[in-house]
Amino acid sequence: MIARDGDKKSPVVTTAFYKYDKNMTVTLGHSYANEYSAGGNDALIDGMRGTEDFRSGAWQGTQNEDLDVTIDLGNPRTVNNVIVGFLKDQRSWIFWPRTITFEFYNENGKLVKVINRDLPETGKDEVSKVFRPRLETPDINDKIKFIKMKATTYGKLPEWHLGHPFDGTSWIFIDEINVN
């Protein structure tokens, strides 16, 4: 968008609009912190990705719990891959999950496929970084209606971490689950 006044023209201002499938719904079997809600349950399917700054408002954060997410796709469909975004910022006690598990169910609720994936160690590096594992699903022949994702928390902070002497526990920050 620009504004004009005669020959004068303002700088260009742009914004992104995100469209997502309103038939999709998300149910959480875990809680998230109010200050890191990213807008609620639908934040995980709204198309808005977080930055390397956990304070951006696009990250949903939980502490002391594994993530437990169920996505109802609304209509059964072919699923080629799933991409999920996690943040690490170990200075702020935000660690990548240890593992993620995806379960794919058809419209009758029958389990069709399970994919488990270990994630890299968060490590001691004092950097913020986003990790978006992509899970390919080429061998799923059924149309999928439900996807369940579980992500295992790192839990108690490691001995080398500054928060360890205070019995600190890690956070998981997630921004988006893209189903393609």
Distance CA 103, CA 9 (A): 53
pLDDT at 18: 60
Q: Specify the amino acid at residue 113.
A: K
pTM value?
0.88
Map residue 35 onto helix, strand or coil. Answer: helix
d(CA 57, CA 7) in angstroms, rounded, equals 38
The pair of structure tokens assigned to 76 is 């059964």
Q: Are 62 and 31 in contact, with CB atoms under 8 Å apart?
A: yes
pLDDT at 17: 64
Residue type, 125: D
How high is the pLDDT of residue 82? 96
* pLDDT tens, position by position, 56-103: 999 999 999 999 999 999 999 999 999 999 999 999 999 999 999 999
In terms of residues, how long is the chain? 180
119 closest CA partner among 152, 83, 89, 168: 152
